[in-house]
Structures are given as structure tokens and as C-alpha cells.
Copies of this chain bind each other. A is one copy, B any other.
Amino acid sequence: MSTVDQRVAALAPPRFTSPSVFSWVILVGFAAFFIQGFLSADVTLARMVQGFGNLGTFFAQAWPPDTSRLTPIAKAMLETVNMALVGVTFGVILSLPIALLCSSNTSPNGFVRWLSRMVVATLRTVPELVWALIFVVAVGLGPLAGILAIIMDTIGFCARFFSERIEEISPGPSEALSSTGSGRLSVIFGAIIPESMASLTATSLYGVEKAIRSAVVLGLVGAGGIGVELSTAMRMFRYDQALTIILVILVVVIGFEQVSSAIRRRVL
């Protein structure tokens, strides 16, 4: 190799850069937790083999699905979709501004950002049952309390994912708009929202789906819905009825997923 070669080869970055303190902390922490968790799992093969045999018996109890209660189930499903849509719609409308406050590239300042992230994390952490209690106290039993609980849940989820996506969009277009001297809001609606539209729709529709799946909260506030049907069926050990309900939910979930990807195809 010529001397020039050696000079140039010396410019190659090392294969492994020693990880930063931060990476070490994360890695070691993860490993510690993971190993503890893994050991606690105590996987014994023999047990698993025998167990999987049992599954047949278990599933046999659910087959064939009992469709005798299909009409009330469908009605409950419809009610649930209605309430979920209302809750998620308001939730999404509220999530958008909150997400903008949470994102590093749209937040007015670090403190606001920190605060709104805390709020969102709290909304997410408070369990559904607690939301149910709070709203039952505040507005009484019934759909309204359920819808309010769904709104809280939606904000906790959507605001977080919206903000994540907003942080990931390429900064070019927003820089271009703000360099015409336009205000923050115009930049947001002119560049940031259009650029992240596909993701926002998908996340919102996932929110609806999520609200439907976790429709138990509607049961907690006496608003009925599919969640009550399912938990009743499970408690009565009517697995064949439960299967029917799960299948109905599955149809709706897939339906929302289809709508979601159809919209995305148009926007992306």
C-alpha cells in the first residue's frame, strides 16, 4: 500500500465506537430486567407439550360459535361503535393541539413541552376504571361518562403518537413556509399536518378500533355495549357466545383497518 493509501485508510471510522455512558446505562438496565424476567418465566418444555394438548379441549368448548344472541350482540356492537366514534372524534380534535405542544419541533418552549407530555402520560396512566369512577361522579351513569372516558384514553394515546410522527417529518417544507413570514399556526396547518396526514388518519382510526376493543369501560359506566356482552359471556363461561362476540369485533376491527388503509392510499 502506498503512503497515500495509509493516510486515507486512517480516516476510516473505527468499526465499533465505544457506546456512550447513556447507551451503557440503558443496555445494562435492560439486560438486568430482561434476565430477571426471563428467569422468572421458568420455561419447562414437558409442561408446554402437555399443555398444548389441553388446548384442543379448551377450544372445543368455544366451537361452534353460538349465534343465538346475534341480534342483541349486533345491537350492542352498533351502540359501541357510535359511542367510540364520538369519543375518538373529540379525543382526536383535542389531541392535535396537545401533540403540537408535545413535539420538539412545534412546541413554543421546553417547559410547555415537558408539561404537556406529563399531562398526556398521566391521562394514559390513569386506568379506565378510575376514569369511569370520575365521570360517573361528574356526569352520572350512561353513555356520556363512557364517551368522556374514551376521550381521555384517546388523548393519552393519540397525542403521544401524533407528536412522535410530527417530530419525524422532514423539516424542509415547514422551514419554507415559515420563511415566508407566516405564523406558527399557518405553518402547522400548511405543512406539518399535510405531511403527517397519512399517519394521523391511521392513528385516529386505530383509536376507534382501540376504543371498541376496550369497550369494557362503557360497561363500567353502565352504558352497555359489546364489552358488557363479552365480559358477561366470559363470566358465564359461555365461550361459544364469547367467540361469536369476538368474531363480531374482529369484523369491525378489520373494517376500520380497511378504511384506514384506503384513506392512507389516497393521502400517502
Contact = CB atoms under 8 A, between A and B. Distances in A.
A47 B139 contact: yes
Residue among A79, A121, A254 with max Cβ neighbours from chain B (10 Å): A121
Interface stretch (A66-74, A128-136, A175-183): A128-136
Contacts of A198: 168
Contacts of A37: 81-87, 143, 147
A125 interface: yes
Question: How many copies of the chain does the oligomer comprise?
Answer: 2
A232 to B, nearest CB: 12
A79 B39 CA distance: 11
A167 B268 contact: yes
A19 to B, nearest CB: 11
Which range holds the interface residue count of chain A? 35 or more
A26 B6 CA distance: 65
B86 A168 contact: no
Contact of A257 (B33, B117, B133, B264): B117
9 contacts: A37-B86, A42-B144, A47-B139, A47-B140, A51-B138, A125-B213, A127-B246, A130-B246, A164-B202
Interface of A: 22, 26, 30, 33-34, 36-38, 40-43, 47-48, 51-52, 54-55, 57-58, 79, 81-87, 89, 117-118, 121-122, 124-127, 129-130, 133-134, 137-140, 142-144, 147, 160-161, 164-165, 167-168, 198-199, 202, 206, 209, 213, 230-231, 234, 242, 246, 249-250, 253-254, 257, 259, 262-264, 266, 268
